[in-house]
């Protein structure tokens, strides 16, 4: 049986890296993940572009399909998509470029 939304979407919260005495940037805390919704991640294999406003177009890495009732994701929010709930198989991680709430499903571009 095929699942419509086989992947797991998480918001990523991480502390900003700080410069140590040697001049290296280090982060003391690992990133933490907050579950947002089940999803389906589709890689942008064709190099399609997305209009983000003011006539600006960018090439996105992935289009993420979400159920219609899922929570909104703000532009700029760092997100990660995993194959499993245990977060062992990362599919894509990046910044939300655009979120679109639709009648039948929602879409998020990374």
pLDDT tens track for 1-43: 889 999 999 999 876 677 777 877 776 666 789 999 999 999 9
pLDDT score of 28: 67
pLDDT score of 94: 95
Q: What is the pTM of this model?
A: 0.83
Q: What is the pLDDT of residues 75-108, one digit of tens each?
A: 999 999 999 999 999 999 999 999 999 999 999 9
pLDDT score of 32: 87
SS3 assignment for the chain = CCCCCCEEEEEEECCCCEECCCCCEECCCCCEEEEEEEEEEEECCCCCEEEEECCEEEECCEEEEEECCCCCCCCCCEEEEECCCCCCCEEEEEECCEEEECCCEEEEEC
């Amino acid at each position: 049986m095929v699942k419509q939304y086989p992947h797991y979407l998480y918001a990523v919260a991480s502390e900003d890296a700080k410069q140590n005495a040697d001049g290296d940037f280090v982060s003391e805390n690992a990133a933490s993940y907050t579950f947002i919704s089940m999803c389906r991640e589709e890689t942008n294999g064709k190099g399609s572009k997305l209009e983000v406003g003011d006539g600006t177009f960018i090439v996105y890495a992935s289009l993420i399909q979400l159920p219609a009732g899922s929570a909104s994701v703000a532009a700029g929010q760092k997100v990660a998509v995993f194959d499993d709930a245990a977060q062992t198989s990362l599919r894509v991680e990046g910044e939300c470029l655009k979120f679109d709430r639709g009648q039948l499903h929602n879409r998020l571009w990374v």
